[in-house]
Amino acid sequence: MINLVQPRVDIDALARELPEQYRELPGELTLTPGAGTGNRSFQARAGERGWFVRVRNPKYADEAAMEFERDLLVHLQDEGLPVHPPLLSARGKPWVWIGNACVQVSRLVTGETFSPGSLAQIAEAGRFLAKLHRLSLGFLDDPRKPWDREDSFMIAFAGFDLVRNLDTDERYVADLNAVAQSIHRFLRELPPQRFWRLPQTIVHGDFHQGNLLFQGDKLVGVFDWDYACEHPRLKDVANALIFLGARRELPFDPADIRTYVQAIAFEPAWVSAFLRACEQDEPLTSEERAALPAMMVGRWLQIRACAIIKLPPEQRLHVFCDRMAETLDRLWEFRGP
């Protein structure tokens, strides 16, 4: 399902021009649509060989930032992490421009999606983040990819403002009130001064099951590094707990943004499995533990606010408000093991 913010692209032109830009690609390619909600993606095949093709949203198409991401991924791959840097084009760049489309190509990785509730896979994800945060410290202070907070006052309020006048029958009054109260509490508990004092590293920034691939219990691919940047490591922890440590009613569909943002309920065993693995070498500080609920609330408000702009107007109120008060209460009350 192509949403309202994904880049448009001529698939025939893409299949025709990619072999001209990448020496590794054969002349005849078959492209089939992939998943994702921000970028467009495709699988390219020629016989038994396959590649993953991403058409990057313009928001993520800064060339210096893409150089930073590839250098980071090459380093992490050299250190043994299951990441897959984009291929270099014939011009030696980790991207090509085809018309107005910024395109990246990597070798296709096969595996299975995350199995909700698999303690072994949850722990594997926790160990990956711990290694990422430790091994990427050499990229701190790199000027190529400055990145603002996504959990900002303006983003949270933008979602709230987009839907609050749509609730004409007052079905969602409690949920909208909970949003307004949580925005103000979030701003008080995690202002910029506190956010930037938390331990910094290079984070993945969008760590959820749609960006993970497994073979059995082994993690074989972590994808979508558009948000990788220097931020508090707690940001990745908050993301992982929301997406891997909580139960959802409907199956996760990486092509349907509505399944990303459905209401959650934490499972203590899942939370414990993740935190034990992630904290094995370097436990969270007391300040990080204290800030974790606010970090998760900021992330939750941000993903719901960003989700609804990808949807038709008639779906926005329900998706933004669905069990919002209940979920915000759970996030504010979160206490780890």
pLDDT digits (tens, 9 = 90+) for 253-299: 988 999 999 999 999 999 999 999 999 999 999 999 999 999 999 99
Q: Is this prediction's pTM over 0.85?
A: yes
95: containing domain: 11-107
| Alpha-carbon gap, residue 131 to 125, rounded angstroms | 10
CA-to-CA dists, residue 160 to 89, 166, 256, 325, angstroms: 42, 10, 21, 13
Same domain, 225 and 88: no
Residue 2, domain member (yes or no): no
148-178 pLDDT, tens digit each = 998 888 888 899 999 999 999 999 999 999 9
In this structure, is residue 114 part of a structural domain? no
Amino acid at 291: A
Per-residue pLDDT of 93-137, as tens digits, reads 999 998 888 999 999 999 999 999 999 999 999 999 999 999 999
Q: Which of 83, 107, 131 is the last residue of a domain?
A: 107
User: Quick check: 286 and 298 in contact, CB under 8 A?
Assistant: no
Same domain, 182 and 265: yes
For residues 271 and 132, membership in a common domain is answered with yes
Residue after which a domain boundary falls, among 107, 142, 175: 107
Residue 1 lies in a domain: no
Closest CA to 258 of 249, 267, 271: 249
The least confident of 40-44, 67-71, 88-92, 289-293 is 40-44
Per-residue confidence (pLDDT) for residue 4, from 0 to 100: 55
- pLDDT tens digit string along 191-241? 999 999 999 999 999 999 999 999 999 999 999 999 999 999 999 999 999
Same domain, 76 and 162: no
CA Rg, the chain, in Å? 20
Query: CB within 8 A of 212, min separation 6: which ones?
Result: 113, 114, 125, 219, 221, 222, 223
* Res 5: pLDDT: 60
CB-count burial class (<10 Å; 0-12, 13-18, 19+) for 262: middle
